[in-house]
Amino acid sequence: MTSVLDFPQLWQKPSFQSLVACLDALEIKPPSGTMPAPRTTAPPSKRLISLTGASDEEREAIWDLASKRISERSGRQAMGEITRRWPFTISTKPSFELVIKEPALTGDSIGFKTWGSSYLLALQLESLASTHLSHLLNRTLSRPKPAVLELGSGTGLLGLAAAAVWGTRVLLSDLPNIVPNLAVNADANAATLDGLGGSAEVGALTWGGTEDEVDQRLFGTPNQFKIVLVADPLYDDIHPRLLQGAIMNQLALGGDARAIVMVPKRDQTTIGLLENFKTFMIQGEGALDCLEQGEIGGQDDWEVNDDEDIKCWWGIFARR
C-alpha cells in the first residue's frame, strides 16, 4: 500500500514520471474491477502543482490524474461515468465477464447504478437453473428455453447474466430515461451472450404506465413470460403495489411460471416496503404462492469503505 512517506515532495521538484507513478498508485478501484472514465468534477487548483520544465500537456495530465484521485475519495456521485467488469464462473460453461457502463449519478440516478443485490442474485442463477427452474431450463428438455423478463433492469447486470448463464433470450426493461444506457450495455455484451447461447433485447416498461411508456412490441401482450426476475426494486411507498401489478401483468398463466425477487433489507423503511410487497403478492387479486424464501448476506454496494453485510431477502413465486 502506498504511504504518504512515498509521495514525491514538491519542494524537490519531482519529475513528471514520478508524479504520474505516485498518482497511478493512489487509484482506488471498487470491487469487480472498475475502469474510471474521464471525470466531470472540478480539478484541484493548478497553482498547487508546479512542474519546472514540464510541457503544457504534461501539466494537464498531472492535473487530470490528481482530479481523478480526489473524486475517487469523494463518493460515487463525484466520480462521473465509470465502466465496471463483473466476472462469472459457472460449471457448465466457460468463465466470462460482463462489461457494465454506469453514467454519472446526477438527479434521479437509481437506475444508473449497479446495486449489490443484482450481482448477488446473478451469482445464484446457475443454482436456480438446476433447482427451482429446472422444469423450464433443464438442458435435456426437448422444448426451447422460455424467454425471460427482468423488471427494473437498471444497468442490466442481472438480466445480461441470465442470458449468458441460462443461454436464453432475456428482455431487459426499465423507465424510458434508463433505457438508452441499458441498450448500450446490451450492445457491449452482445458478442459474449451470443457465444454462450443467449441474447438480450431492451425496451421501456413503466410499471402502471400508459401505452406510450411501455414498449408495445416487446411488452404489449400480457402474460408472456414464464420467468420474471427482479432485484432491488423497492424505493417508494407506491412501488410494492406497482411491482406486484407488473408481475401479474407479465408473468405467464399456468402453474409452471416463476417470479424471482430479491430485496435488500437496508433499514426499517425497506423492510416495511418488502412486507407490503409480499402481502400484495400472496393476498391480492390473482394472488401467487411463495414457494420458497430466504436471506443471503452480502454487500449492498461497491463503495470502498462500505463493508457492511446486509441481508438480502429472496422469494420465488408461482401462480396458484
For residue range 282-297, what is the model confidence (pLDDT) as tens digits? 997 789 999 999 999 8
- Report the alpha-carbon distance of residue 155 to residue 45 in Å, rounded: 34
- Report the alpha-carbon distance of residue 44 to residue 46 in Å, rounded: 6
| Residue 106 pLDDT class (50, 70, 90 cuts) | low
Question: What is the β-pairing status of strands 258-264 and 227-231?
Answer: parallel
Angstrom distances, CA of residue 244 to CA of 118, 241, 247: 19, 5, 5
Confirm or reject CATH 3.40.50.1010 for domain 84-319, answering yes or no: no
- Residue from 242, 255, 311 nearest 288 by CA: 255
138 versus 178: the higher-pLDDT residue is 178
What pLDDT, on a 0 to 100 scale, did the predictor assign at position 310? 84
Please report which helix (H) or strand (E) contains residue 264, including its range. strand 258-264
Question: What is the β-pairing status of strands 288-299 and 309-319?
Answer: antiparallel
- Report the alpha-carbon distance of residue 189 to residue 187 in Å, rounded: 5
Cell of 124: 445464484
Predicted confidence (pLDDT) at residue 2 exceeds the cutoff of 70: no
- Residue from 78, 86, 87, 93 nearest 195 by CA: 93
What's the distance, Cα to Cα, between the start and end of the chain in Å?
57
- Report the alpha-carbon distance of residue 195 to residue 122 in Å, rounded: 18
* Angle, helix 56-72 to helix 16-25, in steps of 10 degrees: 20
For residue range 47-69, what is the model confidence (pLDDT) as tens digits? 444 555 667 777 777 666 666 55
Which residues belong to CATH 3.40.50.150 in the chain? 84-319
- pTM value is 0.77
Strand partners, 227: 148, 258
What pLDDT, on a 0 to 100 scale, did the predictor assign at position 26? 65
> Contact at 8 Å (CB) between 68 and 39?
yes
Angstrom distances, CA of residue 21 to CA of 61, 174, 241: 12, 42, 53
Angstrom distances, CA of residue 147 to CA of 168, 193, 224, 227: 6, 14, 8, 7
31 φ, ψ (degrees, to nearest 5) = -55, 155
